[in-house]
Chain A
Amino acid sequence: MTPVIHTSGLARTFHTKRGTVEAVRGIDLTVPAGEILGFLGPNGAGKTTTLRMLTTLLAPTGGSAAVAGHDLLRDPAGVRRRIGYVAQSGGVDPGVSVREELTTQARLYRLDRAAARARTAELAAELDLADLLDRPCAALSGGQRRRLDIAMGLLHRPEVLFLDEPTTGLDPGSRVDLWALVRRIRDDWGTTVFLTTHYLDEADALADRLVVVDHGRVVAEGTAHALKTEYAGSPDASLQDAFIAITGRRVPAPAETPIAV
């Protein structure tokens, strides 16, 4: 079966006043269709840069990649038509109504007016947003806002959904709800989900497979079970221990992870 994401030596170098920074040195990645992939790494490991390249926001300076059957370098427009991307910051205007944001986004994905309206109603029902359509986005709670952000990425029925830190800032209840939603998106629609996260419990609970990057390269990959067994010595060990063994660093996100050092 053709993988939905395949990269080979994908690299990005930045030229700054202080010199050349190799943010991503060469990522080799294969993601089969229908997988929920957790993309982990310490801050500065190259997670965000990789995500930005895979979603066409940043041009790679080396290597090659195909996403959803389209070459990332030669046909970024083809990739855009088949992927959804939900940034950490979301990307809805607080002053605009939920309905307007959804229908306009659907139109940006080239749905015609009637189809955009129909798809907005359909997704709003699926994602429990139907009662909120005429509210301004600013009036939504954190969990509602996240569901809207995800709906914005699903209007065109993408093959792959990229989620950047999807539960950062959510209360525990909303986090668990969001995990269930992500699983449902994969189970019901077969959507491949590529998610970055700072939360190891989230990676453990949600992802079928984990890829750990550090210093701009993939340093480990496998199921949470396999990583714990291989790097922490036992499948009953914590993913935290495996992560420390892999990266030599304590936690992926000093600011966000509620673990005392």
Chain B
Amino acid sequence: MSTPSAPSTASAPAAPATPGPNTPSASAALLADTLLIFGRYLRQTLAARVGLVFGLLQPLLFLVLFGPLLREVPLGGKGDSWQTLVPGLLVQLGLFSAAFAGFGILIEKQQGILERMRVTPVSRVALLLGRVLKDIVQLLVQSLLLVLVGVAFGLRAPILGMLVGFGFVALMTASIASLSYALAMRVDSPQEFAPVVNSVNLPLMLLSGILLPMSLAPDWLDGLSRANPLRYVVLAVRSAFVGDYGGTVGTGALAALGLTAVSVPAAVRLFRRAGA
């Protein structure tokens, strides 16, 4: 038996039988499928308008009932107390809404909806990305409302800084919602899902300086919070809200992009694999 030899003509690489992940038709299908899934969930969100307001309720309550207490408190940052609080509330909104995004897919799993979609030729990745895209749009609308209420209460910040803040919300939503969907794919019931999310969320929130800046913290607490990527995101949004787009925004962008670069591909892998 002779050993298998390389094809004599090197000019014609074998064409794959089915489009690979990088062929134009596959990316076009991925895009079309993502928009289809996005549209489905956007229509559902718009139909259930209460959901939009409900997610906003907690940060709005903080803004209205807690914000005024900070007016004269020395917070140690640049700008006034609204420029410190509203960026924190934006990150809080993004964190809590996105972290519970997976709840929806958990319900759909129980109703057989996810399985019904998975036996169609729809791109497995689009089932994730379409949902994440809808979460981003929803969070951006909610963020805009939150900022507008903030302005009504006395927040003054440059438009560009607010836009940068929204950019951070979008990145955070992409990464945290992806992780939430990944968790929802791994567990079977809301009873398993909610405790995990809660036990991660609360320390993440407290250690990010969302409500009060970490500059007020003792050294050990400050040190602990440095391990939390959200700390850098909060600092970056605060910096943008006082019109400073320097190193702090850069560090925050690195943290947010790093988080996204880890969590989105991890969730994508899980959606590809789950089932077959």
Taking the complex as formed, is B43 at the interface, i.e. its CB lies under 8 A from any CB of chain A? yes
Closest Cβ neighbor of A91 among chain B residues: B116
Q: Mark A221-250, 1 if CB is under 8 A from B, else 0.
A: 000000000000000000000000000000
Taking the complex as formed, is B156 at the interface, i.e. its CB lies under 8 A from any CB of chain A? no
User: Which B residues are CB-close (under 8 A) to A92?
Assistant: 111, 113, 116
A95/B44 in contact, CB under 8 A: yes
**Min distance, Cβ A183 to any Cβ of chain B, angstroms:** 23
B121/A110 in contact, CB under 8 A: yes
User: Which B residues are CB-close (under 8 A) to A83?
Assistant: 119
A93/B120 in contact, CB under 8 A: no
Majority-rule SS of B interface residues? helix
Q: Mark A89-115, 1 if CB is under 8 A from B, else 0.
A: 111111110001000110111100000
User: Which A residues are CB-close (under 8 A) to B110?
Assistant: 89
The winner among B18, B116, B275 for most chain A CB atoms within 10 A is B116
The winner among A89, A91, A109, A110 for most chain B CB atoms within 10 A is A91
A56/B275 in contact, CB under 8 A: yes
* Interface stretch (choices A21-29, A73-81, A187-195): A73-81
B120/A55 in contact, CB under 8 A: no
Interface size on A, residues (CB 8 A): 32
Which one of A59, A78, A90 contacts B276 once the chains associate, using CB atoms below 8 Å? A59
A31-69 contacts to B, CB under 8 A, are 55-59
B276/A58 in contact, CB under 8 A: yes
A108 to B275, CA, bound (A): 18
A84 to B235, CA, bound (A): 51
User: Which A residues are CB-close (under 8 A) to B47?
Assistant: 95
A108/B276 in contact, CB under 8 A: no
A259 to B238, CA, bound (A): 70
B112/A91 in contact, CB under 8 A: yes
User: Which B residues are CB-close (under 8 A) to A75?
Assistant: 17-18
B36/A104 in contact, CB under 8 A: yes
Taking the complex as formed, is B31 at the interface, i.e. its CB lies under 8 A from any CB of chain A? no
Interface residues on B, range: 20 to 34
A93 to B110, CA, bound (A): 11
B275/A58 in contact, CB under 8 A: yes
B121/A57 in contact, CB under 8 A: no
A57/B119 in contact, CB under 8 A: yes
A89/B119 in contact, CB under 8 A: no
Which one of A56, A89, A107, A152 contacts B111 once the chains associate, using CB atoms below 8 Å? A89
Taking the complex as formed, is A87 at the interface, i.e. its CB lies under 8 A from any CB of chain B? yes
Closest Cβ neighbor of A107 among chain B residues: B36
Closest Cβ neighbor of A75 among chain B residues: B18
Given contacts A57-B276, A58-B276, contact A108 B122 (CB under 8 A): yes
Taking the complex as formed, is B108 at the interface, i.e. its CB lies under 8 A from any CB of chain A? yes
Given contacts A90-B112, A91-B111, contact A76 B120 (CB under 8 A): no
A109/B40 in contact, CB under 8 A: no
User: Which A residues are CB-close (under 8 A) to B119?
Assistant: 55-57, 80, 83-85
Closest Cβ neighbor of B113 among chain A residues: A91
Taking the complex as formed, is B117 at the interface, i.e. its CB lies under 8 A from any CB of chain A? yes
A47 to B147, CA, bound (A): 55
**Min distance, Cβ A68 to any Cβ of chain B, angstroms:** 12
B116/A87 in contact, CB under 8 A: yes
Which residues of A are in contact with B by a Cβ distance under 8 Å?
55-59, 75-78, 80-81, 83-85, 87-96, 100, 104-105, 107-110, 152
Shortest beta-carbon contacts, A-B, top 9: A91-B116, A89-B112, A91-B112, A59-B276, A108-B120, A85-B119, A108-B122, A80-B121, A87-B112
Which residues of B are in contact with A by a Cβ distance under 8 Å?
17-18, 29, 33, 36, 40, 43-44, 47-48, 108, 110-113, 115-122, 275-276
Apart from the given pairs A56-B275, A91-B116, 9 other A-B contacts in the complex at a CB distance below 8 Å: A80-B121, A81-B121, A83-B119, A85-B119, A90-B112, A92-B111, A94-B111, A96-B44, A107-B36
